[in-house]
A and B are shown apart, each in its own frame.
Chain A
Amino acid sequence: MKKVFLGLLPLLLTMAPLSWAELAIENAHIRASIPGAPNTAAFLTLSNSGDQTIRLVRAESEIAARTELHTHTNDNGVMRMREVEAVEVPAGGQVVLQPGGLHVMFMQLVEPLNPGEQAEFYLVDDQGTRHQVQAPVMKIKPMHHKSSKQH
């Protein structure tokens, strides 16, 4: 959280009227790599306790050649995965990145990710603030457990 505030400080000092936005990142986890697959994805819950929309415009990491914000849409039974321009977290609102929908996509992992490890990446908002995320690496679980608390 400290980094968030530090990043926002110049903004807070220059902006009038004073507004604030605070992003909480919870339940972050990243899928352990699957043998043969060079890509993986991370999922998490974003909460904005501030009074301004937070617009996350990109993701960064050192664990993959490219890190992007992606979504999946089910278009009449056809799954289409696309990079999104931004993930917007409304003031007082929550956005969940979960399997089958929004996710942080890691393309061409530098090294395989094993369960039990931690991975670090950043979500960057349109003000340039980098929100650090520490995510445990977890083995994939069947989708029908998705409503349980552990996800």
Chain B
Amino acid sequence: MPRWVLGAGAVVLAFAVGFWGSSSLPDDARGFELTRTDGTRINSQDVLAGEPYVIFFGYTFCPDVCPTTLAYLSSVLDQQESATGQRAQAVFVSVDPQRDTPERLAQYVNYFDERIWAVTGTQAELEQTARTFSVFFQEVPGKGDDDYLVDHSAGILVMDDKHRLSGVIRDGEALDQALATLANAY
């Protein structure tokens, strides 16, 4: 049976909307501890210490927006690299631990860009991470047990070198704008 991923979804949604919608962003540091597809546990405060990075949420069953975001982000990072010589680490968080096995997740993300880290975790860890990053996700029942959908926050969160939220890149926005948002994190 499909489960509600996030029981308190509405509360988190209200928070996320209020948060992303506001022009001033709280300047507290945010972090995650999740599992990479090779089984390695990573804590953002260790592996990304002192580095800006970008993080976004999705799932491999998503046929449209997630692939689009991955392809888009990959090209944004390529541009960043050729323009500045720096390339922000990108982290894709799967919010569908039930279906997104490490193998599936690795194949999926590597298809777009092998340098993007794919991570996931237990339900509790993902809920915690979503709260930390003010992100919403929630399962929506499909016709069968195995084809539920997951509503999730779109947008790529840009974290600065102190891991404070520095900006949000919207899917498909002009490259210049995305690069400017990235540059703000440095």
Contacts and interface: CB of A to CB of B under 8 A. Distances in A.
Given A72-B64, A76-B21, A36 B151 contact: no
Give the interface residue-count category, chain B.
Answer: 35 or more
A36 B71 contact: no
Contacts of A38: 61
Given A34-B67, A41-B63, A108-B147, A100 B17 contact: no
A36 B64 contact: no
B55 interface: no
Nearest to B168: A77
Contacts of A35: 107-108, 110-111
A140 B67 contact: yes
Contacts of A16: none
Contacts of A79: 65, 151-154
B72 interface: yes
Interface string A21-48: 0000000000100111111110000000
Contacts of A144: 72, 75, 172-175
B5 interface: no
B104 interface: yes
B172 A37 contact: no
A72 B174 CA distance: 21
Interface in B78-127: 103-108, 110-112
Contact of B171 (A107, A140, A143): A143
B31 interface: no
B72 A37 contact: no
A120 B4 CA distance: 35
Contact of B65 (A34, A100, A106): A100
A146 interface: yes
Q: B16, B60, B110: which has the most chain A beta carbons within 10 Å?
A: B60
A143 B175 CA distance: 10
Contacts of B62: 39, 81
A96 to B, nearest CB: 14
Question: Which of B68, B74, B153, B172 is the most central at the interface, judged by chain A CB atoms within 10 Å of its CB?
Answer: B68
Contacts of A31: 63, 67
Interface string B142-161: 01000101011111000000
Given A140-B68, A142-B75, A37 B60 contact: yes
Contacts of A78: 13, 16, 136, 151-154
A36 B152 contact: no
Interface of B: 13, 16-17, 20-21, 60-65, 67-69, 71-72, 74-75, 103-108, 110-112, 136, 140, 143, 147, 149, 151-155, 171-175
Interface of A: 31, 34-41, 66, 70, 72, 74, 76-82, 99-100, 103, 105-108, 140-144, 146
20 contacts: A36-B103, A36-B107, A37-B61, A39-B61, A76-B21, A77-B154, A77-B155, A78-B16, A79-B65, A81-B62, A99-B65, A107-B147, A108-B147, A140-B71, A141-B71, A142-B72, A144-B72, A144-B75, A144-B172, A144-B175
